Chains A and B, each alone.
Chain A
């Protein structure tokens, strides 16, 4: 059964690019959300195996989304990869403290995405939702 991704970004362009990059490395099962709030709604409505999220978003940003996931009983172990323009040391540390599993600074390549997904999947067993 295919791994199902939730791609969260307020930029339509970035969502398309991330989905294309996922397809290019063999992952076809993707749902999308425009911000953290919508993402939480999707996570409650359907099973998802992996979250890829941006940081800067309206309503609920990526960091708040990660915190909400980690504090949720059922979703707390869900793997989360953050893809963001924020590349400062303080930002990376803040994201790690919120317990993101890995971090990509934009602009990214499909190779970098594959590398990070492989790293996460090696450490975090994907529990099929």
Chain B
């Protein structure tokens, strides 16, 4: 803007406000340091944003790495539970076979006469122990049930880790917002300095996000989706469209 143009702009303000052009120029000059200070402040704020943005990226990377570790541990727990379950099943099968033998033996003993049993009486305790094998089979069954429950809990923990993906999308959304603020601030500074806009918000091709992503175990969103699918399918079927 040249001086002539500046005077042209100030004249109407001067005649409307009753303040002389000279006074207006003095006021404008006094504003310059304030504007410079604002510019510096904007530049300083703007320069901090890349660091903040990088810190958010670091948070996402750290949580992803920690989540992988947790998933590895859960996999290991799951594999060990699987091995214990297999072993318990083998023992259960083995005990089942032995229990059948014991039952046959007990039946044979019951068929003995009092006289025939007499030499076996000192071993009565051992017989009783053998008969108790059935109790062990029941206990193993209970242990397997407990293990299966632990397996389910382990799976529930793994599924809860979906929170990492969802929060990383929320973080990415915030990162995108502060990057757009930085771009706007840079453009304000450029305009103040009379430059052409140099900054445009560039899309980071590596990351993609849903700004509305949220971790919510409420099933209403799924139910709503199911209802839309049902209506869509019904509508298409009645119109003879394959889906």
Contacts and interface: CB of A to CB of B under 8 A. Distances in A.
Contact of B164 (A13, A55, A103): A13
Given A13-B164, A93-B228, A96-B232, A85 B210 contact: yes
Contact of A13 (B165, B224, B232): B165
Interface residues of A, number: 38
B187 interface: no
A116 to B, nearest CB: 9
Contacts of A105: 221-222, 225
Contact of B159 (A87, A93, A96, A109): A109
Interface string A84-115: 11111100110010010111111111101000
B71 A107 contact: no
Given A14-B165, A16-B71, A106-B162, A56 B228 contact: no
A46 interface: no
Given A13-B67, A20-B158, A110-B159, A56 B165 contact: no
Interface string A9-21: 1111110110011
B162 A58 contact: no
Interface residues of B, number: 38
Contacts of B212: 85-86, 88
B208 A107 contact: no
Nearest to A112: B222
Interface in B141-169: 155, 158-166, 168-169
Given A93-B232, A102-B229, A58 B208 contact: yes
A96 B241 CA distance: 12
B169 A107 contact: no
A14 B206 CA distance: 16
Interface in B162-183: 162-166, 168-169
Contact of A16 (B68, B163, B224, B232): B68
A24 interface: yes
A24 B152 CA distance: 9
Nearest to A14: B165
Given A17-B159, A87-B224, A92-B229, A58 B206 contact: yes
Interface in A50-104: 55-59, 61, 84-89, 92-93, 96, 99, 101-104
B194 interface: no
A107 B243 CA distance: 25
Contacts of A13: 64, 67-68, 71, 161-162, 164-165
A14 B162 contact: yes
Interface of A: 9-14, 16-17, 20-21, 24, 55-59, 61, 84-89, 92-93, 96, 99, 101-110, 112
Interface of B: 64, 67-68, 71, 74-75, 155, 158-166, 168-169, 205-210, 212-217, 221-222, 224-225, 228-229, 232, 243
21 contacts: A12-B68, A13-B71, A16-B71, A17-B71, A17-B159, A20-B74, A24-B155, A57-B208, A58-B207, A84-B210, A86-B213, A87-B224, A92-B229, A96-B229, A96-B232, A101-B243, A103-B225, A106-B166, A107-B160, A107-B162, A107-B163
Given A20-B71, A109-B159, 16 more contacts: A11-B164, A11-B165, A12-B64, A13-B67, A13-B71, A17-B162, A55-B210, A56-B209, A58-B207, A84-B210, A85-B169, A89-B228, A92-B224, A105-B222, A106-B162, A112-B222
